[in-house]
């Protein structure tokens, strides 16, 4: 269990999301000690250091701190798709599911999706969807993938698939964007160096506020020219922040202290999956920190399960009438997983 200041441990085993974590004592100390300045003037030394650090991690020229992963994604999409042109992505991608129509509303971007397959992406299917430039059709300009895939049960797109997708994008002259809110988990699960992921994408968005446990903050990663433009787009969207080094310090602390430990979250998710193996509700293999549940045909639907679990001190996310999700994170220890591993199989007896 992460070390927290007074306020104590959360009373419930909260498996809804890895965004529910609270900054630890060490992280808060780093935040309190942060050197700050006005980041709209480019004068916050801690933000500047974080941006340089994250750009280097992915082998790109530059990065830009943004308040949220959604804003980082939307800035990146505006960098690679001009108004009226087209983005291709998975039907379950965060950018077209949970960003409230932002690509259309802010970027005038036309999005077209391939059927939801999570991490089981077929680059051939994507290639067949590409529309060429011309005055009568919507020209495809970019492809977005999500690594790991949130609604795809935390699945990791294999490196050879991404390489093939890069080839497809290059052949058609398209940009490739990665919604890397949880790319850290893919890096830890598959052992693929972050620079290797970085080399495959024109732009990435990466989040400090999910598994890494910072209270807020994401970055857009790209070329120096793209990030200069991204700074304008961020300001336009209302994302220019001032002495935000206090948040950047949390992010820098998270990168140092919370990256390797994601392996613990993966092991705990695997333990939950093991406990549920006999219940017939696992929606797929568990690769990272997400355990997807499919309650089709079960006597409990997702809401009924969530209500019953809450009464036993376990919180989970309802994703649809018959789909639910458990997510492990920094604020859960083995005792919490033991409790959930006892309660959930009991509730889920057929
Ligand atoms: C895959 C993915 N991308 C982007 C985001 C957006 O992050 P934020 O909530 O910071 O806007 C999330 C949030 O959970 C996510 O899961």
CB–CB of 18/328 below 8 Å? Answer: yes
Q: How far is CA 75 from the centre of its chain?
A: 15
Task: Please choose, from the candidates 100, 108, 51, 84, the residue with its C-alpha nearest in 3D space to the C-alpha of residue 230.
Answer: 51
- Distance separating alpha carbons of residues 3 and 320, to the nearest angstrom: 34
Atom of ligand 1 nearest to the CA of 17: 14
To test the pocket of ligand 1, the residue of 103, 116, 207 to mutate (highest count of ligand atoms within 8 Å of its CB) is: 207
Atom of ligand 1 nearest to the CA of 73: 4
Q: How far is the CA of 20 from the centre of ligand 1 (A)?
A: 13
- Distance separating alpha carbons of residues 249 and 46, to the nearest angstrom: 6
What pLDDT sits at residue 2?
74
For 17-50, the DSSP string reads: -TT-----HHHHHHHHT-----GGGT--HHHHHH
- Distance separating alpha carbons of residues 244 and 13, to the nearest angstrom: 31
- Cβ neighbors of 223 (< 8 A, separation 6 or more) are 60, 61, 62, 202
Q: Is the CB of 288 under 6 A from ligand 1?
A: no
β-partners of residue 221 are 63, 204
Q: Is the CB of 50 under 6 A from ligand 1?
A: no
Q: How far is the CA of 94 from the centre of ligand 1 (A)?
A: 7
Give domain limits for the chain: 25-258, 261-348
What pLDDT sits at residue 10?
53
β-partners of residue 110 are 86
Q: Which helix (H) or strand (E) holds 344?
A: helix 334-347
Q: Is the CB of 92 under 6 A from ligand 1?
A: no
Q: Is the CB of 145 under 6 A from ligand 1?
A: no
Q: Of how many residues is the chain composed? A: 350
pLDDT in tens, 307-321: 999 999 999 999 999
To test the pocket of ligand 1, the residue of 150, 153, 178 to mutate (highest count of ligand atoms within 8 Å of its CB) is: 150
- Give the dihedral of Cα atoms 299, 313, 338, 268; nearest 10 deg: 80
Q: How far is CA 234 from the centre of its chain?
A: 19
What pLDDT sits at residue 343?
97
Task: Please choose, from the candidates 311, 307, 305, the residue with its C-alpha nearest in 3D space to the C-alpha of residue 293.
Answer: 305
Q: Is the CB of 147 under 6 A from ligand 1?
A: no
Among 3.40.640.10, 3.90.1330.10, 3.30.70.3270, 3.30.420.40, name the CATH number for the domain at 25-258: 3.40.640.10
| pLDDT tens sequence for the chain (350 residues) | 677 765 555 569 999 999 999 999 999 999 999 999 999 999 999 999 999 999 999 999 999 999 999 999 999 999 999 999 999 999 999 999 999 999 999 999 999 999 999 999 999 999 999 999 988 899 999 999 999 999 999 999 999 999 999 999 999 999 999 999 999 999 999 999 999 999 999 999 999 999 999 999 999 999 999 999 999 999 999 999 999 999 999 999 999 999 999 999 999 999 999 999 999 999 999 999 999 999 999 999 999 999 999 999 999 999 999 999 999 999 999 999 999 999 999 999 97
Q: How far is the CA of 69 from the centre of ligand 1 (A)?
A: 5
> Which residue minimizes the CA distance to atom 8 of ligand 1?
69
Q: Are strands 203-207 and 140-146 parallel, antiparallel or unpaired?
A: unpaired
Q: What is the pTM of this model?
A: 0.97
What pLDDT sits at residue 214?
98
What pLDDT sits at residue 135?
85
> Which residue minimizes the CA distance to atom 16 of ligand 1?
150
For 176-232, the DSSP string reads: EEEEETTHHHHHHHH---HHHHHHH-SEEEEESSSTT--SS-EEEEE-HHHHHHHHH
Q: How far is the CA of 141 from the centre of ligand 1 (A)?
A: 23
CATH class of residue range 261-348: alpha beta
Q: How far is the CA of 133 from the centre of ligand 1 (A)?
A: 31
Q: Are strands 218-222 and 62-66 parallel, antiparallel or unpaired?
A: antiparallel
What pLDDT sits at residue 3?
78
Q: Is the CB of 96 under 6 A from ligand 1?
A: no
Q: Is the CB of 317 under 6 A from ligand 1?
A: no
The one-character DSSP state at 287 is -
The tokens for 42 are 């480019």
What pLDDT sits at residue 8?
54
């Amino acid at each position: 269990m992460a070390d927290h200041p007074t306020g104590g441990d959360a009373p419930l085993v909260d498996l809804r999301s890895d965004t529910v974590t609270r900054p630890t004592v060490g992280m808060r100390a780093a935040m309190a000690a942060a050197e700050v300045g006005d980041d709209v003037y480019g004068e916050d030394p801690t933000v500047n250091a974080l941006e340089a650090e994250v750009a280097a991690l992915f082998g790109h020229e530059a990065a830009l701190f943004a308040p949220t992963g959604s804003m980082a994604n939307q800035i990146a999409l505006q960098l690679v798709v001009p108004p009226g042109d087209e983005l291709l992505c998975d039907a379950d991608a965060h950018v077209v599911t949970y960003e409230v129509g932002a690509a259309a509303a802010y970027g005038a971007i036309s999005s077209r999706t391939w059927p939801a397959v999570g991490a089981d992406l077929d680059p051939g299917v994507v290639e067949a969807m590409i529309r060429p430039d011309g005055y009568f059709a919507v020209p495809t300009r970019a492809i977005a993938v999500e690594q790991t895939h949130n609604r795809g049960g935390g699945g990791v797109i294999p490196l050879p698939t991404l390489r093939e997708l890069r080839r497809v994008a290059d052949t058609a002259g398209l940009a490739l964007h990665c919604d890397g809110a949880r790319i850290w988990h893919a890096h830890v699960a598959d052992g693929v160096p972050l620079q290797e992921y970085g080399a495959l994408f024109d732009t990435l968005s990466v989040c400090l506020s999910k598994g890494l446990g910072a209270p807020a903050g994401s970055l857009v990663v790209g070329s120096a020219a793209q990030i200069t433009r991204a700074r304008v787009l961020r300001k336009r969207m209302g994302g220019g922040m001032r002495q935000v080094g206090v948040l950047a310090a949390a992010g820098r602390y998270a990168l140092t202290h919370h990256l390797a430990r994601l392996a613990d979250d993966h092991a705990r998710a695997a333990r939950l999956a093991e406990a549920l193996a006999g219940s017939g509700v696992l929606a797929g293999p568990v690769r990272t920190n997400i355990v997807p549940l499919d309650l089709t045909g079960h006597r409990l639907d997702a809401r009924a399960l969530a209500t019953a679990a809450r009464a036993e001190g376990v919180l989970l996310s309802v994703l649809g009438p018959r789909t639910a999700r458990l997510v492990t994170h920094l604020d859960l220890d083995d005792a919490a997983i033991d409790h959930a591993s006892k309660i959930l199989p009991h509730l889920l007896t057929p």
